[in-house]
Amino acid sequence: MAIERTLSIIKPDATSRNLTGKINAKFEDAGLRIIAQKRIHLTKAQAGVFYAVHKERPFYDELTSFMSSEPVVVQVLEGEDAITRNREVMGATNPAEAAEGTIRREFALSLGENSVHGSDAPETAAVEIAYFFSGLELVG
Ligand code: CMP
């Protein structure tokens, strides 16, 4: 299995409930290394660019308003098969369908306020990491 990097976001519903450390512990317990991390407050426009793939979806306005409502923690996770492993740790998008022990099962409030985002493929991971971090900020 290859060493991969993936972009993770701890969303406003989680940062506002002071869950950053608990969520980071889940990543680290799963063997993912946090090789870059920063807390930022996105504008609605910045959230809109990040989620541009969902522009035509009915939830786009709700999603971008939510993601710019409070600070987020953006981070790069590195490890073996990191993209898939992170998605396993996060659990299903809808917390009602997320498996026991996953971040979304434990912490998410709803489909929209679902605590974390993770890249879904190597190509998207590269684009998403570059949106938030320069190469110098990735310290593996
Ligand atoms: P995320 O992995 O960040 O990718 C897109 C996000 O859109 C997703 O998590 C959900 O939080 C959100 N989302 C998906 N479907 C809906 C929906 N029907 N209503 C509101 N938000 C949604």
What are phi and psi for residue 68, nearest 5 degrees? -110, 10
Q: What is the pLDDT of residue 16?
A: 98
Taking CB atoms and a 6 Å cutoff, what residues make up the pocket around ligand 1? 54, 59, 62-63, 93, 111-112, 114, 117
Helices (H), 30-102: 44-50, 60-67, 82-90
Question: Of all protein residues, whose CA lies closest to atom 2 belonging to ligand 1?
Answer: 117
pLDDT band at residue 131 under the 50/70/90 scheme: very high
pLDDT of residue 40 exceeding 80 = yes
**Mean pLDDT, the chain, integer:** 98
pLDDT of residue 76 exceeding 90 = yes
Provide mean pLDDT across the span 60-77.
Answer: 98
Determine the Cα–Cα distance for residues 20 and 36; give it in Å rounded to an integer.
14
Provide mean pLDDT across the span 58-86.
Answer: 98
**Strands 3-10 and 72-80, sheet pairing:** antiparallel
pLDDT tens digits, residue range 98-108? 999 999 999 99
Q: What is the pLDDT of residue 1?
A: 75
Q: What is the pTM of this model?
A: 0.97
pLDDT tens digits, residue range 4-21? 999 999 999 999 999 999
Is 101 exposed, middle or buried (CB count within 10 Å of its CB: 0-12, 13-18, 19+)?
exposed
Percent of the chain with pLDDT over 70: 100
Q: Can 117 be counted among the known catalytic residues?
A: yes
